[in-house]
Structure 1
Amino acid sequence: MLTKKKTFWNIVFLIVVFSLTIYGVFHGEDPGAMMEAIRQADIKWLIPGIVLVMFFIWGESIILWYMMRSFQIRLKKRICFLFSSVGFFFSCITPSATGGQPMQIYYMKKEKIPIPVATVILMVVTITYKLVLVVMGVGIACFGRGFMHRYMEEVAPVFYLGVLLNIFCVGFMTVLVFHPDLAEKILTRGLRLLERFRFLRHKEERGRKLRESMQIYRETALYLRNHPGMIFRVIVITFIQRLALFTVTWLVYLSFGLSGTPMWDVIILQAVISISVDMLPLPGGMGISEALFLKIFSSVFGSVTLPAMVLSRGMSYYSELLLSAVFTLAAQGYYMVKARSE
């Protein structure tokens, strides 16, 4: 669980990054003209965008509910939705989304879900979540040369870096899962080297935690081998979940009455931004996401690129942050009432 002190500093960091983002994006711009352009956007296209954000959060809750049933854990879908909301909220406010899963495990413990089971489920969710980005990124890099030349020449290095970082992450997690003994040897030797060169102080507790982590990866590998059909279905749900969030930008495009750019071009460009920023140590890719949007979509949105960015990011990230915050508070209230009644 995140300590109160760590949560406080994460929120401070979020506010600082948000303030710098606001300054960087809007410095020298005419706020009045931007707001006038936003007011002209057709709300009938924006409301479905908020629905898609809710669907994005709900999609993970269905995955959690579905996988828990394989462990004979019967929970109501609304409880899994609270778990999902907690994960998204703390992922949104912590660098590289590191805070989501610890908080999900904390709340899962309140439902008496064993920590190893919760960890294995969330490990599978993480692997599939990043695997979908890797597949999309590699697909764009290999088969979308013309597409990249048309839209992405200026941001191609950032995109390739994002693809490589995601490939490394998925590859590393795959080694941890399917070759835990090899991974344990590599990590143990690495730990000893850090201790030998005085980068870390020697602690037996650190070695014990490493061995416990390796056991979790062994259990994850066993789960993956025993449930290939389920893993495939989780990947499909994750892919649909991701596409739903990327489609928000297409709805913003329609809200301005624009035409001429195919729907899939807009969706793929939004995917490019997510792939590029996913592994960066910034909460929600804040700052770099806005900068990439303004670069990539300038030829798509033209004079309304800045208002389009405000609406797109406002719905796909900031409304997600707000909605997940509301349901995180609901989760806290629910378990406080439950604890008193018990």
Structure 2
Amino acid sequence: MSERKKNLFNAAFVLIVFALTIYSVFAGKDLGDIAETITEAEPVYLLLGMGCVVLFIWGESKILHYMFGTLGIRTKRRTCFMYSCVGFFFSCITPSAGGGQPAQILYMRKNMIPVPVATVVLMIVTITYKLVLVAVGCFLVLFCRGTMDRYMWEVLPVFYLGLGLNVVCCTAMLILVFHTSLARNIVMKLLDLLGGFRVFRRLAAKKERLTLTMDHYGDTAAYLKQHKRVLVNVLLLTFMQRIALFFVTFFVYRSFGLHGTAMWRIVLLQASISVSVDMLPLPGGMGISEHLFLTIFDPIFYGDFLLPGMVLSRGIAYYVQLFFSAAVTAGAHFMFKRRGSRTKCT
């Protein structure tokens, strides 16, 4: 599939999922009442929620800037912020957030950052990103059974599925990093087996491509052995970055003047939604995130505040993130295009 066709397919897929989400959430609802309730929200708290989104994006840029520094690569903070926006924009519009890192590598390469270096850095970002979600999910299971039974009973199968997929993903990535030869042997034997059933065409080319990917994991392992403290620091930064985004729902809750539910409980419940949907093949968890919110937060955003609360929380955490990162990505695209035109002229 050509790049243009792939982009058109992703755009069409996002629009279809968005339309289905809007229909399933708002069918039969009085949109006028919802809009009126939203206007009652305190703007200061909504601005704080938007600030959390910017802090979330900035958090990754801080991690990128820090890691490039450990590799002796000098980058500007605003350039790393641009990389973060590019990643989050393409993650928001592609299934399972699969388009974010390839787009980041492309823009990093335009700034003369070697692809192997960019790949290692982004792999560590991915591993820590998933590890934080797994840690939050395990914390809920081990120490918050009462909260789960009270608020998440109806959605526990989805939560456990999401947690399980994240655990499998993290385990696979850690094996690839720290036991590269074992992972290589397993994957090669699996390819040979599938090749015997003629599942894959051009098996040799796929093996070669896979070998290159494995080499990147080997480079990641070598980096972590030389920079052991880096992983701990990145984990701490990633934890704060993720928590910042989960606080959006708390600020939306407070914007309606609601009380009675502790801040930590709202943040953890919002985190449970992220754990549930992170690995699902939907752009930004669209559709399932909205329905999980309406189920989990029903006792918290009581009365007429539930649907407006979902609109604001999801609107700030996902759609503000999407449009903000899209604007920065568009600016970066035109900047590189203009730079390319000047290079050709000279």
State the TM bucket, normalised to the shorter chain.
Answer: over 0.9
Distance 2:286 2:78 in 1: 29
> What is the deviation of 1:225?
1.4
Q: Which residue of 2 aligns with 1:115?
A: 115
TM-score w.r.t. structure 2 length?
0.97
Deviations 1:276-335, CA, capped at 9 Å, x for gaps: 000000000000000000000000001210000000000000110000100000110111
Contact 1:14–1:94 under 8 Å retained in 2: yes
Identity of aligned residues (%): 53
Q: Which residue of 2 aligns with 1:327?
A: 328
Contact 1:195–1:202 under 8 Å retained in 2: no
Distance 1:115 1:70 in 2: 16
Distance 2:203 2:194 in 1: 12
> What is the deviation of 1:231?
1.2
Q: Which residue of 1 aligns with 2:312?
A: 311
In the alignment, structure 1 residue 269 sits paired with structure 2 residue 264: no
Deviations 1:195-238, CA, capped at 9 Å, x for gaps: 11121123321111111111100000111111111111111110
Contact 2:130–2:166 under 8 Å retained in 1: yes
Contact 1:160–1:276 under 8 Å retained in 2: yes
Q: Which residue of 2 aligns with 1:161?
A: 161
Unaligned ranges ≥5, structure 2: none
Q: Which residue of 2 aligns with 1:228?
A: 228
Distance 2:14 2:202 in 1: 33
Distance 1:58 1:330 in 2: 17
Distance 1:187 1:31 in 2: 52
Stretch deviating more after TM superposition (225-234 or 19-28) = 225-234
CA RMSD of aligned residues (A): 1.1
Map 1:1-342 → 2, pairs under 5 A: 3-303=3-303, 304-342=305-343
Q: Secondary structure at the match of 1:25?
A: helix
Deviations 1:114-155, CA, capped at 9 Å, x for gaps: 110000000000000000000010110111111111211111
Contact 2:105–2:118 under 8 Å retained in 1: yes
Distance 2:43 2:297 in 1: 21
> What is the deviation of 1:341?
2.9
Contact 1:124–1:220 under 8 Å retained in 2: yes
Give the counterpart letter for 1:315 in structure 2.
I
Distance 1:20 1:321 in 2: 18
Give the counterpart letter for 1:194 in structure 2.
L
User: How many pairs align?
Assistant: 342
Distance 1:100 1:198 in 2: 31
Distance 1:27 1:191 in 2: 47
Distance 2:203 2:185 in 1: 17
Distance 1:93 1:320 in 2: 11
Distance 1:5 1:107 in 2: 21
Give the counterpart letter for 1:252 in structure 2.
V
Contact 1:176–1:214 under 8 Å retained in 2: yes
Contact 2:87–2:100 under 8 Å retained in 1: yes
Unaligned ranges ≥5, structure 1: none
Contact 2:91–2:97 under 8 Å retained in 1: yes
Give the counterpart letter for 2:202 in structure 1.
H
Contact 2:273–2:292 under 8 Å retained in 1: yes
Q: Secondary structure at the match of 2:300?
A: helix
Q: Secondary structure at the match of 2:302?
A: helix
Contact 1:277–1:285 under 8 Å retained in 2: yes
Give the counterpart letter for 2:82 in structure 1.
L
Contact 2:195–2:203 under 8 Å retained in 1: no
